[in-house]
Amino acid sequence: MNQEISGLSSMATRPVLADLSEHLRHSCGIPVRFESAGGVEVARRVREGTEADLLVLAAGALAELAEEGLVLTDTARPLWVSQVVAAVPDGAPAPALDSEADLRAALLSATAVAYSTGPSGTALLALITRLGLASTLADRLVQAPPGVPAGSLLSAGRADLAFQQRSELTGLPGVLVLGPLPGDTAIDSVFSAGVLASSGQPGRAREVLDLLGSDAASEIARAKGMRAIGPENL
């Protein structure tokens, strides 16, 4: 019987990896199980010695772990690109997002803006600063706890505008996804994977890693709001 391949991942890739694990189990006969948490939490657990075979995280976070010797350097590879999208409570008026001016207007009209931990939240704060709105919005920004979708703050009535990876907002009850940010305000996050140095079966983990980069995996990722990495993202 095939021994299960275990993996750790950030929440943004959880929907993709859930479907991919089912695909690998049924189509390839390879049992794979990923445990997902906030990216910061996952990185902390890896540094504290949590054992697993594969790791899927934002590219920068995974690269840092590889530099620390916790990910086998020759296995680290970018897999998917995810767009950050805006969302409002379902049933609320949907503001236009066709231009930077529209985005500024949406931010300024919001009473509370939800954002996430991890790379998308960091990028959003940088964008708000670039737009010259950091001081204006300082008291309106609400960061979701690690591992909690920013969209859940919309349905809970704690925010009326939220930004996060599409995969984490799509399908959430009470949430209306507006779409990606316009023009050069768009935020893309690259997610990478690699074999953990703690893996007890690195050879089979490499095989699964190759399958995560396959055309079939790319189609599954696309259905969950991500796209396969391209030369323009490297």
pLDDT tens sequence across 4-60: 999 999 888 998 999 999 999 998 899 999 999 888 899 999 999 999 999 999 999
Confirm if 39 and 191 have CB atoms less than 8 A apart. no
CA distance linking residue 15 with residue 34, whole number of Å: 10
Confidence of residue 232 (pLDDT cuts 50, 70, 90): very low
CA distance linking residue 30 with residue 65, whole number of Å: 26
DSSP reduced 3-state for 47: helix
Average pLDDT over residues 94-118: 95
For the chain, domains (ranges, CATH) are 5-81+189-233 (3.40.190.10), 82-185 (3.40.190.10)
54 to 192, 210, 230: CA distances (angstroms): 11, 11, 22
Q: Looking at 1-5, 116-120, 171-175, 193-197, which range is the least confident one?
A: 1-5
The per-residue pLDDT for 230 is: 61
How does DSSP classify residue 233? G
CA distance linking residue 152 with residue 156, whole number of Å: 6
Confidence of residue 158 (pLDDT cuts 50, 70, 90): very high
Q: Does 148 score more than 90 pLDDT?
A: no
E-assigned strand segments in 120-159: 141-143
CA distance linking residue 20 with residue 9, whole number of Å: 13
> In which residue are the tokens 């969209």 written?
151
CA distance linking residue 2 with residue 207, whole number of Å: 13
Report the predicted TM-score, pTM, of the whole model to 2 decimal places.
0.82
Average pLDDT over residues 174-189: 93
pLDDT digit string, tens, across residues 50-89: 999 999 999 999 999 999 999 999 999 999 999 999 999 9
The per-residue pLDDT for 1 is: 44
* Environment class of 19 (CB within 10 Å of its CB; exposed 0-12, middle 13-18, buried 19+): middle
Q: In the predicted model, what is the mean pLDDT of the chain?
A: 92
Nearest Cα to 121, choosing from 149, 163, 176?
Answer: 163
Beta-bridge mates of residue 5:
32
Confirm if 208 and 196 have CB atoms less than 8 A apart. no
